[in-house]
Amino acid sequence: MEDVTDTVYRRLIREWSSRAAPRATTGDDAPRPTVMFTEFTRVDAAVRTRDARASGAPGNGRLRYHESERPIVAQIWGTRPEEFRRAAAALDELRFDGIDLNMGCPVRKIRKAGACSALIERPTLAAEIIAACREGSRLPVSVKTRIGLSRVRTEEWCGFLLEQPIDALTVHPRTADQMSDGWADWREVRRVVAMRDAAAAGTVVLGNGDVRSLAHARRLVEQTGADGVMIGRGIFADPLLFARDPATSAADGAATPEWDALDPGSRLDYLEEHIRRFVGYWNTGRNYEVLKKFYRNYVPRSAAGRALLERLYETHDPDAALDEIARARRLMDA
């Protein structure tokens, strides 16, 4: 997710997940998340980043990752097949584990440029982009998409994608016009799975949309037959989501109650760790303002927490935020 799951947050999610207590009731301790995706990145950034790295510069921040994030897939977007061919080769050299093509972002400016969700109505171009990535590298290629632009067109569009040489298809079952409104209609994911099965295509199908816990993810799999689940905003609602025991987390779309129940001091510990890691990694290389997206979720849900949040929103640098947190701790202890 843009300005959310940067390399710092992805690493934190991985670390916090592995700090978890063993999942005693299931004995299921598979490392989670099993695959990480970068924020979506303009297709031309891949070549520039490869070239920058050759001269020791870091290149585009969205294409930075740490070994602990593997398997790590680069998500790219654009409109020119030739750029995708060159980007695929560059991403291979940058040692990504896969390439994900964003064909779902509904943001108006991007849609107007004919990219991302606009490709739903430009299937020939979409197919050319996929073919170009195949030509450019041997990395697995996947597509993340929605089920239509203004109206639901799951059968035509996802059916078309299943005929393309892609390894995986992630379906966010909303139209682009819907943005994040209403509910993701998981029945459309089931439809895609049924089409995949009927065509005996080997494409892995992942469901996405509104999943807020591991138990909820399991429910999506049970209801749709999907091979897996992509989780976006859920990781906002509970940064320790992957550390939870699926047997005890809520299956009804509520965030895991453990996060809400966490004591104020621990919440501030996580917040502080996130800020310190952000600054330690990016220094001034990333806009401090993006961190503010996270604050609401970390601060305690109390009058003191709300007061702290207001002060945090007024800060303009990480040191000021850390001072406010220290002050809030002193008040909480008093």
Residue numbers annotated as active site? 105
Q: Does 210 bind ligand FMN (CB under 6 A)?
A: yes
74 and 55 Cβ atoms separated by less than 8 Å:
no
Q: Does 209 bind ligand FMN (CB under 6 A)?
A: yes
- Listed residue (62, 59, 66, 58) closest to 42, CA to CA: 62
Binding region for ligand FMN (CB under 6 A) out of 28-36, 228-236, 275-283, 298-306: 228-236
Shortest approach of ligand FMN to residue 141 CB, angstroms? 15
Binding region for ligand FMN (CB under 6 A) out of 208-216, 276-284, 301-309, 313-321: 208-216
Q: Under rule CB under 6 A, which residues in 133-172 are in contact with ligand FMN? A: 144, 172
Closest CB to ligand FMN: residue number: 232
| CA 215 vs CA 30, 242, 321: distances in Å | 15, 10, 34
Binding region for ligand FMN (CB under 6 A) out of 130-138, 204-212, 213-221, 308-316: 204-212
Q: Does 256 bind ligand FMN (CB under 6 A)?
A: no
Q: What number of chain residues touch ligand FMN (CB under 6 A)?
A: 18
Shortest approach of ligand FMN to residue 266 CB, angstroms? 25
Binding residue for ligand FMN, selected from 211, 215, 226, 325, defined by CB under 6 A: 211
Rg (CA), the chain: 21
Cis peptide before 318 (omega within 30 of 0): no
Q: Does 40 bind ligand FMN (CB under 6 A)?
A: yes
> What would the x/- binding string for ligand FMN be over residues 265 to 304, using CB under 6 A?
----------------------------------------
Shortest approach of ligand FMN to residue 259 CB, angstroms? 16
Q: Does 2 bind ligand FMN (CB under 6 A)?
A: yes
Q: Does 39 bind ligand FMN (CB under 6 A)?
A: yes
Nearer Cβ to ligand FMN (293/327): 293
Q: Does 75 bind ligand FMN (CB under 6 A)?
A: yes
Residue 240 burial (10 A CB sphere; 0-12, 13-18, 19+):
middle
Give the binding site for ligand FMN (CB under 6 A).
1-2, 4, 39-40, 75, 102, 104, 144, 172, 208-211, 231-234
